[in-house]
Structure 1
Amino acid sequence: MAKRLRSLRPPAVAQPENPSRALRLLGSVIAPTTVLTGLLFFFGRQHANWLLDYFGVPLSTMGLTAQDYLVRSADGLFAPVAVVMAAMLALLWLYRFLRARLADAAWQRLLRVATPVAVGCGLAGVTVAAVGVVRPEAFASSYSVPGAGLSLGVLFLVSASRLLAARAGRALPPPVATAEWLAAFALVSVGLFWAVADYSASVGVGRALQIEAGLAAPPEAVLYSAKSLNLTAPGVRETACRNPDAAYHYRYTGLKLILQSGGQYFLLPVQWQKADGTAVVLPRTDALRLEFTAAADPDAPC
């Protein structure tokens, strides 16, 4: 009889998972990945914009794609990201090591010392960001410092909040913890984009200076065209081909290919100068042909 009564009981209904916990678990994976991808794209675009702007070429003329921006982000951004991720991983490992090795009394003493230190570092970082907003000229030599200060300051303050909760021996209510996580994530993201915007300008202009310094180095681009392009920049020489049956009737030497993307060629004269230099942007069509050589002879027949 007892067995029959047990069999007639309704099955236990599974309790729904806490939505706050599910939201945090979802955000812990998707949100950082989205921000990292956005940072790579943003850095690559700003990097290209500042590099092209140095030579007087608008970014919109090159038709760069999202893939171009992501690839370009490897120039200067991967190293700082790797350093930051390695530092965060080291801190997490240190936390786990100390928590496992220290007794409860020693751990509480460590928390009492670490909490005010985290608060002080957090307030210092936020103060730097505030100064960067009110007086940006104070960071004229490194505009990325205020953004980095905001991100680090918020992280330290969140860490202090968690340390206080650990000392009290009770966790924050799920809604409060979720709100704290969302606010901190938003502020850290703003700080990262702020820092990347200024850092990308520095890297982009730096690469432009390297390109300018290496214009005279091989290889040199030899441009063939079906029609005269009337290129009159210093150091660029036009040679009319004598063969009337040739597919390309004009030859240009003294050029350097800088970038090819979006169906466009971006070339610079090897004698280009910032003061009065002319950049050349040509569509990639069948009417043009490029050859590359270690040393082009401007007097050679075509």
Structure 2
Amino acid sequence: MPGIRRFGALFGAVVAPTSFVTGLLYYFGLNQAYWFYAYFGVDATMLGLGTTDYLVISVDSLFVPMVVTAAAGLAAFWGHDLLRARLAAGARPHMLRTLVPALGGVGFLLALAGFWSVLDDRFFLRGHLAAAPLCLAIGVVLLAYTLQLRRSLPPEDDVSHPRGTSDDTSDPPTPPDQPEEPPVPSTPRPPEPVRQEWAALAEWAVVFVLVGLSLIWAASDYAAAVGRGRAQHLVSTFPTSTTAVVRSERSLGIEAAGVRELHCHGAKSAYPYRYEGLVLVIQSANQYVLLPQTWTPQTGVALIIPRTDSVRLEFVPYTALGVLGRSTC
């Protein structure tokens, strides 16, 4: 398929592959981080996460989609090689009658469902994870593959009557007592029209845009689901997590449920205020993001405390939680 090869060369000349991949990783990492912290009611943009942070986070959200896409691509290549072997063995008439219409019909239905999901947010596919974009991507790929497969085949009459074979329904030979009629010259088949190069490039460009946007849509949905799932898993580990004890020179006014404030009145204490029952989520941009150990989506609040010399954090592992609640300073 020279069209797709020409488009691939043109795309590689216009868009740098490294920059393109880096941009995608950054986008998916940003998407996952946004939904992760949004579960706790925190705007991720105020955490000061950098490009490296988003690139590292994106690995978590893209691992499964990349594995599935690679496996699907490998299966498609193997299936194409198997089909070519069947065609070389003389299975073209059967393929024309069954495979091409079947692939075209399935691709049309999937693409139609995907387009409908784009136009109507209430379509039932939108309620399932990545179902709508995957239907659109697979449908467009099947339609494009069916069209290219049909173009690569000879006309139907050439397939039904291969050159060099006799037909059982041919006219009987002329009897000896009758003069032989002169052969009727065969009408040459008109040459097939040659597609313009710009038409092939435009076709593959549209296919690439539709499939690429659909895969980005699917990966974005998956990244959002991974972000929310990681947040829910983190909350489930709070009862057995390491507790963060915040010591401060002055009162921080924390009144979250499950957080205990202890005030040490001794003059020798550099940090007289002590807060227990917290879990550190992340330290970023010189600030701490902490959650109460009893945090729930209905009653919990997120705390963002600046990282300064007036605040100190201590960590108590789960096995040593018995030391908490004491008033020692």
For normalisation by structure 2, the TM-score amounts to 0.75
- Pair 1:248-2:232 in alignment: no
Partner of residue 145, structure 1: 131
- Pair 1:58-2:81 in alignment: no
Instruction: Give the secondary-structure state (helix, strand or coil) at the position aligned to 2:290.
Output: strand
Equivalent residue in structure 2 for 1:203, among 222, 226, 231: 226
Partner of residue 91, structure 1: 76
Change (3 A) 1:34 1:84: farther
- Pair 1:43-2:28 in alignment: yes
Instruction: Give the secondary-structure state (helix, strand or coil) at the position aligned to 1:259.
Output: strand
How far is 1:203 from its partner? 2.4
User: For 1:70-219, what aligned pairs fall within 5 Å after superposition?
Assistant: 70-100=55-85, 103=88, 105-106=90-91, 109-110=94-95, 113-137=98-122, 138-139=124-125, 141-142=127-128, 144-168=130-154, 172-219=195-242
Equivalent residue in structure 1 for 2:8, among 24, 36, 41: 24
**Structure 2 CA distance, aligned partners of 1:293 and 1:134?**
53
| Larger Cα-atom Rg | 2
Contact kept? 2:244, 2:315, Cα under 8 Å: yes
Change (3 A) 1:20 1:124: closer
**Structure 1 CA distance, aligned partners of 2:197 and 2:57?**
41
Partner of residue 297, structure 1: 324
Instruction: Give the secondary-structure state (helix, strand or coil) at the position aligned to 2:251.
Output: coil
**Structure 1 CA distance, aligned partners of 2:146 and 2:260?**
67
How far is 1:243 from its partner? 5.4
Equivalent residue in structure 2 for 1:68, among 53, 64, 76: 53
How far is 1:184 from its partner? 0.9
**Structure 2 CA distance, aligned partners of 1:104 and 1:173?**
32
**Structure 2 CA distance, aligned partners of 1:221 and 1:87?**
45
Change (3 A) 1:200 1:54: same
One-letter identity of the residue aligned with 1:57 = V
Give CA deviations for 1:5-63 in whole Å, capped at 9, x if unaligned: xxxxxxxxxxxxx9996552253696776665444333322222222222111222212
One-letter identity of the residue aligned with 2:300 = G
One-letter identity of the residue aligned with 1:239 = L
- Pair 1:261-2:284 in alignment: yes
Change (3 A) 1:165 1:264: farther
Structure 1, unaligned runs of 5 or more: 1-17
How far is 1:172 from its partner? 4.9
Q: Which moved more, 1:132-141 or 1:45-54?
A: 132-141
Contact kept? 1:165, 1:172, Cα under 8 Å: no
How far is 1:262 from its partner? 3.0
**Structure 1 CA distance, aligned partners of 2:63 and 2:119?**
30
One-letter identity of the residue aligned with 1:154 = V
Instruction: Give the secondary-structure state (helix, strand or coil) at the position aligned to 1:73.
Output: helix
One-letter identity of the residue aligned with 2:65 = P
One-letter identity of the residue aligned with 1:226 = E
Contact kept? 2:287, 2:306, Cα under 8 Å: yes
Aligned residues between the structures: 285
Contact kept? 1:256, 1:270, Cα under 8 Å: yes
Instruction: Give the secondary-structure state (helix, strand or coil) at the position aligned to 2:239.
Output: coil
Q: Which moved more, 1:233-242 or 1:92-101?
A: 92-101
Contact kept? 1:218, 1:293, Cα under 8 Å: no
Instruction: Give the secondary-structure state (helix, strand or coil) at the position aligned to 1:292.
Output: strand
State, as a whole percentage, how many aligned pairs show the same letter: 38
**Structure 2 CA distance, aligned partners of 1:135 and 1:186?**
20
Partner of residue 176, structure 2: none
How far is 1:297 from its partner? 0.9
Change (3 A) 1:176 1:186: same
